[in-house]
Structure 1
């Protein structure tokens, strides 16, 4: 039998069909094994742990056969209870395998201290973004006579006068005393009056 005759014979097609069946069977068995080995279809949905205490996190994850690892505390966030979870990885809704570790970061107990910068004789335009960047809140703005308009003259927090280098809690409200820019004119009028008085005195003499 020649090669051409064999390739067109029933015997060849039977063997070819058998080989195809064997290949599909092997592929099917491999896929089934991989599905079993990776526990495919049995993923666990990661719950939302934010705002839970560490104890509550432990109880919740134990029920799901998951574990947690506390990475660190973060700067105090007033939108979250003290010592509660602020961040987690993987995020809520992610699908993971049994025994997966969930990494968490918890809120600190309160705002830390921040050093008050030297802003006296700085303009309001300079002072305001500096204070906000440090986490402070701008409170009342009052004015008093001073040549420089909107120049920072004094800073207060809870009625206490602040000086550069003082340490107060982040998120504290800082009240500003600013120059009204009018003292120059007042001084000019005052100087004019004094000059007139001196002239009158000289004339009288």
Structure 2
């Protein structure tokens, strides 16, 4: 009985051995694949430094995508005003671009929210110089200066501005101001302009509605340049009957050599010339 069953059991044992060998072979192949595609790549990259891409001046969504695809962890650290970068663009990253860092490193980014809002300053009551300084502080430009008489504001201060205070404005926007000439004169007579500056004379004549005619210059090195030496219409005459007034003004620039002995004053110099 045992001799008859012996070949059968031997056959069973051979099949079991083959199965075990097959399983061992499959397990070995699985181990090789696991080492080749999982363990070894992870082991060789562990601790390896990578170059950090530059994401500055890129939209924040695009920058985050680039960092994540590169194996880094982007973190928005702050959002600040910036005139050079459009809203939503990355203006700074830490670590710096092209730094060698470990994979998975956190990268802190700062995002622009655009240009800081600008508001029109209050200029009324200031001198023109102070008003211009305030405008420059806000990135604005002083355009034209007008002059008017005022019973309330003293001479030389701003009484009006073309844009109301606290209004939001754009960079380099132009602003006009009006400056007080003080109280209006009670008489309409031509004033004595000799000895005054050209700017002052023009303002006084403008207030009377009398235009300045021809302006000529005479070399007077001892006088402040721009000083009125002579007026074609004498002081005290009616402004209503005066069409225009010609002026002779001092200058510190000598005339050409061939004309140096010629005098622009000719016979018009008189006792009204300032000393």
| Normalised TM-score (structure 1) | 0.55
> Which one has the largest radius of gyration?
2
Taking a change above 3 Å as real, the CA distance of residues 148 and 95 of structure 1, as seen in their structure-2 partners, is farther
Is the aligned partner of 1:142 residue 2:145? yes
Closer, same or farther in 2 for the Cα pair 1:127/1:190, shift >3 Å?
Answer: same
In structure 2, list runs of 5 or more residues that go unmatched. 1-43, 192-235, 237-275
- Where does structure 1 lack aligned partners over 5 or more consecutive residues? 1-35, 197-205
How much has 1:61 moved relative to structure 2? 0.8
Aligned to 1:22: none
How many residues are treated as equivalent by the alignment?
A: 145
Question: How many angstroms apart in 2 are the aligned matches of 1:178 and 1:75?
Answer: 33
State how 1:69-80 maps to structure 2 within 5 Å: 69-77=75-83, 79-80=84-85
The structure 1 segments of at least 4 consecutive aligned residues displaced by more than 4 Å after TM superposition are none
Q: Is residue 97 of structure 2 the alignment partner of residue 92 of structure 1? A: yes
Asked if residue 120 in structure 1 is aligned to residue 124 in structure 2, the reply is: yes
SS at match of 2:185: helix
TM-superposed CA distance for 1:110, in Å, is 5.8
Q: CA RMSD in A?
A: 3.6
TM-score normalised to the size of structure 2?
0.43
Partner of 1:171: 171
Asked if 1:46 is matched to 2:52, the reply is: yes
Aligned-partner Cα distance in 1 for 2:112–2:63: 14
Structure with the larger RCO, 1 or 2 (CA within 8 Å, 6+ apart): 1
Structure with the higher helix share, 1 or 2: 1
| TM-fit CA distance, 1:81 | 2.6
SS of the equivalent of 1:190 reads coil
